[in-house]
Amino acid sequence: MHAVVGSPVVIRDNKFAVVTAPITIDGRTRELYFKASTPFVSEGIEPFVAAAFLPALTIASRFAVEAPMSARLLRNLQRITELFVCWEPERFHSVEIDATPAERTAHSGRTTAGFFSGGVDSFYTLLKHRDEITHLIFVTGFDIRLDDERLQADVLTAVRAAAAELGKPLIVVETNLRQCFDSFVSWPDHYCGAAIASVALLLSPLFHTVYVAASAGYKVLVPFGSHPLLDPLWSTEAVQIIHDGCEASRFQKVGAIAQSEVVRKTLRVCWHNTDGAYNCGSCLKCLHTMALLRAVGALESVRTFDRPLPLRSVAWEFGGHVIDPAVPSRNFVLSMEHAADHLAASGRDPALLKALRNGLAAKYERGMWAFAKGARQRIKTYGQSMLQNRMRRRVAAQGCSSKNHAPTEVS
């Protein structure tokens, strides 16, 4: 089966641009679009290559690109393939790539941007590179569904206010990328980094560098759609994509940003947004962030959480009694440990420390059982012959030793 990325078409006026291209995968053609609040968008095919490549790796044998593309990105597609085939060989496989390389020339006068969602990770990267980052990029259609217009409007208002307060122009991009390709790949596990990169490539006439905020630290890295090994591979000669912030745990990031007034007014972490809530205050991600904010003494000053932290829920939900597959759990455990260490050293908030310790104890216990279950399955699958051989050797050795020491019959 062939996957084909068609040539893009750009329509623009002096304020906006819409770029579309047909992408054919599994015999069906989808019209992928990006609408940007700037006329300065790339006419190249690279954003569409980034959007289509991973879905193609799941189903196609050939990946055809109908317009010349960045030679650097074309070379990197091989390494991107290697990563995904190594991470999930049962889902991803190599494809024959049919594309014409072109050297992309970089425009002068470009600057640096950062993707900004109003969450802990993107605030951390923004404040860390505050002097270097000149613009912020916000995407609708990624973590907020396109049809959730109320939440989209609320979040956009808050993100605009944060950008204005920090003196950074905000570029808004809307895309139907997830509607086109969510059925092929998992958003968090495979696709989020490629999707973010497609927008960075779209805005390459404006930016030579784009920061993507890391969600996990170096200590807890696992295969994930946005990863320090992966994100830079989507770069071209024109734009460098940087995965930033792996040096800090989520607790350390919360500690670094919590004193900022703009963070206190606009921090948004919720993925559930029950009943359109900005932060629902009851999902695992909200509870986790609230606990970290309380550990650094800043929860009450963050106005986007409008309810107290239920400590029982910290022990109960953090212990893993409620499973949320959207949450990378090792990352969360590390942050809880850092928060508990911080509270134990400072002697502050013993009630929160107790709740965190109870949650961690339950998490470790679950982890032990999960490890034991995994080990049992692995032995069953891979280790049986090894165990059988060991048993045989032991039996043989015992047999041999019993022979040596067997009483000699005297006739």
Least separation in angstroms between residue 338's CB and Zn ion is 21
In the bound state with Zn ion, the residue whose beta carbon lies nearer, of 49 and 287, is 287
Distances (CA, A) of 240 to 116, 226, 290: 17, 15, 34
In the bound state with Zn ion, the residue whose beta carbon lies nearer, of 219 and 312, is 312
Least separation in angstroms between residue 294's CB and Zn ion is 16
Ordered DSSP codes for 70-130 = EHHHHHHHHHHHHHHHHH-TTT----EEE--EEPPPPPSS-EEEEE--SSHHHHHHHHHTT
Q: Give the range of 131-139, 171-179, 262-270, 366-374 binding Zn ion by CB under 5 A.
A: 262-270
In the bound state with Zn ion, the residue whose beta carbon lies nearer, of 137 and 270, is 270
Residue 49 near Zn ion by CB under 5 A: no
In the bound state with Zn ion, the residue whose beta carbon lies nearer, of 169 and 308, is 308
What 3-state DSSP class applies to 259? coil
Evaluate whether 162 touches 154 at the Cβ level (below 8 Å). no
In the bound state with Zn ion, the residue whose beta carbon lies nearer, of 199 and 280, is 280
Evaluate whether 189 touches 91 at the Cβ level (below 8 Å). no
- Each residue 309-328 as x (binds Zn ion by CB under 5 A) or -, in order, gives --------------------
Other CB atoms within 10 A of residue 190 CB:
25
Least separation in angstroms between residue 326's CB and Zn ion is 11
In the bound state with Zn ion, the residue whose beta carbon lies nearer, of 249 and 313, is 313
Least separation in angstroms between residue 17's CB and Zn ion is 34
Distances (CA, A) of 114 to 139, 149, 170, 200, 206: 12, 24, 10, 9, 12
- Each residue 213-252 as x (binds Zn ion by CB under 5 A) or -, in order, gives ----------------------------------------
Q: Site residues for Zn ion, window 108-137 (CB under 5 A)?
A: none
Q: What is the largest CA-CA distance in the chain?
A: 113
Q: Give the range of 23-31, 66-74, 263-271, 351-359 binding Zn ion by CB under 5 A.
A: 263-271
C-alpha to C-alpha distance for 191 and 286, rounded to whole angstroms: 23
Torsion from C-alpha of 346, 348, 349, 350, nearest 10 degrees: 70
What 3-state DSSP class applies to 261? helix
Name the pairing type of β-strands 9-12 and 17-25: antiparallel
Positive/negative CA dihedral, 62, 63, 66, 71: negative
Answer for which of 12, 72, 145, 272 binds Zn ion (CB under 5 A) is 272
Least separation in angstroms between residue 274's CB and Zn ion is 7
C-alpha to C-alpha distance for 85 and 397, rounded to whole angstroms: 44
Ordered DSSP codes for 33-54 = EEEESSS----SSHHHHHHHHH
Least separation in angstroms between residue 361's CB and Zn ion is 24
In the bound state with Zn ion, the residue whose beta carbon lies nearer, of 136 and 286, is 286
- Residue for token digits 């030679």? 71
In the bound state with Zn ion, the residue whose beta carbon lies nearer, of 120 and 270, is 270
Q: Site residues for Zn ion, window 275-304 (CB under 5 A)?
A: 280, 283, 286
Least separation in angstroms between residue 292's CB and Zn ion is 14
Answer for which of 139, 270, 296, 353 binds Zn ion (CB under 5 A) is 270
Ordered DSSP codes for 209-258 = EEEEE-SS-GGG--S-SS-TTTGGGG--SS-EEEEE-TTS-HHHHHHHHT
Q: Give the range of 12-20, 84-92, 268-276, 338-346 binding Zn ion by CB under 5 A.
A: 268-276
In the bound state with Zn ion, the residue whose beta carbon lies nearer, of 87 and 316, is 316
Least separation in angstroms between residue 120's CB and Zn ion is 13
Least separation in angstroms between residue 313's CB and Zn ion is 12
Evaluate whether 281 touches 272 at the Cβ level (below 8 Å). no
Least separation in angstroms between residue 276's CB and Zn ion is 12
Number of residues that bind Zn ion (CB under 5 A): 5
Evaluate whether 32 touches 17 at the Cβ level (below 8 Å). no
In the bound state with Zn ion, the residue whose beta carbon lies nearer, of 274 and 384, is 274
Q: Could you list the residues that contact Zn ion (CB under 5 A)?
A: 270, 272, 280, 283, 286
